[in-house]
Amino acid sequence: NISRVTEFILLGLSDTQELQLLFFTLFLLAYAMVLLGNLLIIVTVRTDPKLSSPMYFLLCNLSFIDICYTSVTAPRVLVALLSGHKAIAFEGCMAQLFFLHFVGSSEMFLLTVMAFDRYTAICRPLHYTAIMARRACWALVSACWVGGFIHSIVQTVLMLQLPFCGPNTIHSYFCDVPPVVRLACADTTLTEWLVASNSGLISLGCFLVLVASYALILAKVRAHVSQGHWKALSTCTSHVMAVTLLFMPCIFTYLRPAGTVPANKYICVIYTIFSPMMNPLIYTLRSNEVKESV
């Protein structure tokens, strides 16, 4: 008979008490900045009629996604660092894995839509209003959520089909596919390649589309020297920095079988905490309209 694992042990970032207090302080400050910064954007966009363009509609949705994305992992990490309780039930681990990929992949799709919005506004300004009508914006945002749900369902089903009967120690501070799949009591080669082709290719594909869209924008504005086009160039540069912070760690983590390279739990901090914290600063503070409204 095979005994099924009922809980996992999340080792966290460190076992040293002093470092745990330091990580708790840093995570608490980062999570508070994510909540306050993104809530401020949502309230500002929703209450100011001047911020009714498609760009701010998409930005408002990005802020909501960032709040959800960070809330999947941060509260559980804070409780574990403060109380020392590192166990998580099997069902809770699978739920965290599901919502992490659901919201995370939805954010990747939304960032791709936002890049398309910027490309349309700069390269096809006369058709912008018709292309990015409110109904089209709602359809694009809904497609992002549906795409994220389908992706996450596939990941979760792949994990639920694996037998877990032996080790239950996860070398990370949250449940994710790479560290969990290593604990399965079976040959996981096929599952690892399926995960890499799912999460990895989504991350790489969205990143390449983003880079291509910004490259087209830069090629468009290169021939112009007006102040507005230089502003567009500066904005695109900051956006490329933001998406790089999110996509490069994800590509490194997921675009390979889980057993080929040891996972680095500190890299996960970049796309689970640091990137959602930086998004309000990068996407908002460069907009004079938002700063005036705030």
More confident residue, 206 or 17: 206
Q: Is the pLDDT confidence value at 257 over 70?
A: no
Residue 38, CA atoms < 13 Å, CB-side half-sphere: 25
Q: What percent of the chain has pLDDT over 90?
A: 26
pLDDT band at 19 (very low <50, low <70, confident <90, very high): confident
* Helix (H/G/I), strand (E/B), else coil: 121: helix
Q: What own/partner pairs with CB < 8 Å and gap ≥ 24 does 207-211 have?
A: 207/243, 207/247, 207/248, 207/251, 209/112, 209/115, 210/111, 210/112, 210/115, 210/240, 210/243, 210/247, 211/240
Measured between alpha carbons, how far is residue 57 from residues 79, 137, 209, 210, 242 in Å? Answer: 34, 8, 21, 19, 18
Residue pLDDT, tens place only, 55-109: 889 989 999 999 999 999 999 889 888 887 888 999 999 999 999 999 999 999 9
Report, as an integer, the average pLDDT of 220-240: 64
Residue pLDDT, tens place only, 128-171: 888 998 899 999 999 999 999 999 999 999 898 888 887 888 88
| Separation of alpha carbons 145 and 166, rounded Å | 35
Q: Is the pLDDT confidence value at 195 over 80?
A: yes
Residue pLDDT, tens place only, 103-126: 999 999 999 998 898 888 888 888
Q: Give the pLDDT of residue 1.
A: 45
Q: Are residues 115 and 191 in contact, defined by beta-carbon separation less than 8 angstroms?
A: no
Q: Give the pLDDT of residue 32.
A: 93
Length of the chain, in residues: 294
- Mean pLDDT of all residues in the chain? 84
Burial of 61 (0-12, 13-18, 19+ CB in 10 A): buried
* DSSP classification of residue 271: I
Give the predicted TM-score (pTM) of the model: 0.88
Measured between alpha carbons, how far is residue 32 from residues 27, 42, 75, 81, 175 in Å? Answer: 8, 15, 11, 16, 22
Q: What percent of the chain has pLDDT over 70?
A: 88
Bridge partners, 7 (sequence order): 89
3-class SS string, 194-231: HHHHHHHHHHHHHHHHHHHHHHHHHHHHCCCCCHHHHH
Q: Are residues 181 and 191 in contact, defined by beta-carbon separation less than 8 angstroms?
A: yes
* Helix (H/G/I), strand (E/B), else coil: 88: strand
Q: Are residues 12 and 20 in contact, defined by beta-carbon separation less than 8 angstroms?
A: yes
Q: Is the pLDDT confidence value at 234 over 70?
A: no
* Helix (H/G/I), strand (E/B), else coil: 99: helix
pLDDT band at 186 (very low <50, low <70, confident <90, very high): confident
| Separation of alpha carbons 108 and 46, rounded Å | 23
Q: Distance between the two ends of the chain, CA-based, in angstroms?
A: 62
Can you give the residue ranges of every domain in the chain? 7-292
- 7-292 CATH pick, 1.10.443.10, 3.40.120.10, 1.20.1070.10, 3.30.70.3000: 1.20.1070.10
